[in-house]
Structure formats: C-alpha cells, structure tokens
C-alpha cells in the first residue's frame, strides 16, 4: 500500500522559513518524480514543485521560484520542501503527491497534507 505522510507544517512569521517532509512507503521511491501541491484556505489546488527520481531535475511554479527548494533522500524515502522568505500568500495545506508513472501522468496518490500558517 502506498503511503505518503507529510510533516513539518506550523506557524511561521512572514519572512521566516520552514522545512516540510514527506515520508513515502509502499513503492520504489527513487523511481518516481514527486511533487508538492498546495491549497490555500478556501481556494483551489496549486502545483508548487516537483523533483525527478534521481533528484537531478527540479521544477518550480513561478510563485515560489527562488524562495522554495525541493529535495529528496532516496535512502530514507523522504521528500523535502525548504520554504524561505515565506509570505502570507504561502499559507496553505501542502500535499505531497506521487504521479502514476515514474516521470509523468496524473497524481495517483496524495498525502493527507500539512498546514503552513504564515502570520505575525
């Protein structure tokens, strides 16, 4: 059974930093692209970032480019999102998600999300 478990969310002040983690199990983690998708309160879904299975390739939404950094530890089957210079508009539930194919297709599995609150 595929499981994705996010952690690391919490309250942070504007301009602060936070590191999210996603522990994965039930599949060969290193084979798959992984993504972060967020959802602001009462709003829709926004893809944030993705990383290839090897970690060599990374992708970012314009809204987070230069502030967020995605990485992974394939020995620990864990995905990370380092978030710096946080803004009020970054407040959201952050989901990690696995695509159906190693480098493409729809999001087959989602975690339950971790809430990031940006407020002074």
Partner 1 sequence: EIVMTQSPATLSVSPGERATLSCRASQSVRSNLAWYQQEPGQAPRVLIYDASTRATGIPARFSGSGSGTEFTLTISSLQSEDFAVYYCQQYSNWPLTFGGGTKVEIK
Stretch that binds partner 1, among 7-15, 23-31, 40-48, 75-83 (CB under 8 A): 40-48
Min. distance of Cβ 112 from partner 1 in angstroms?
6
Per rule CB under 8 A, is residue 73 in the interface with partner 1? no
Q: Which two tokens stand for residue 60?
A: 């970012």
| Residue with Cβ nearer partner 1 (67 or 99) | 99
Closest to 64 in 3D by CA, of 91, 42, 97:
91
Antiparallel, parallel or unpaired: β 114-118 and 92-101: antiparallel
List all residues 6 or more positions away from 75 whose beta carbon is below 8 Å from its beta carbon. Answer: none
Residues 10-39 contacting partner 1, CB under 8 A? 35
Exactly one of 53, 61, 69, 115 binds partner 1 (CB under 8 A); that residue is 61
Min. distance of Cβ 15 from partner 1 in angstroms?
25
């Amino acid at each position: 059974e595929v499981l994705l478990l996010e952690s690391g969310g919490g309250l942070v002040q504007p301009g602060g930093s936070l590191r999210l983690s996603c522990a994965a199990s039930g599949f060969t983690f290193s084979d798959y692209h992984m993504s972060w998708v967020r959802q602001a309160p009462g709003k829709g879904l926004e893809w944030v970032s993705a990383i290839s299975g090897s970690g060599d390739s990374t992708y970012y939404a314009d809204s987070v480019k230069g502030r967020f950094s995605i990485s992974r530890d394939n020995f620990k089957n864990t995905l990370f999102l380092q978030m710096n210079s946080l803004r009020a508009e970054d407040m959201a539930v952050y989901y990690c998600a696995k695509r159906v194919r190693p480098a493409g297709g729809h999001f087959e599995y989602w975690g339950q999300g971790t809430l990031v609150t940006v407020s002074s």
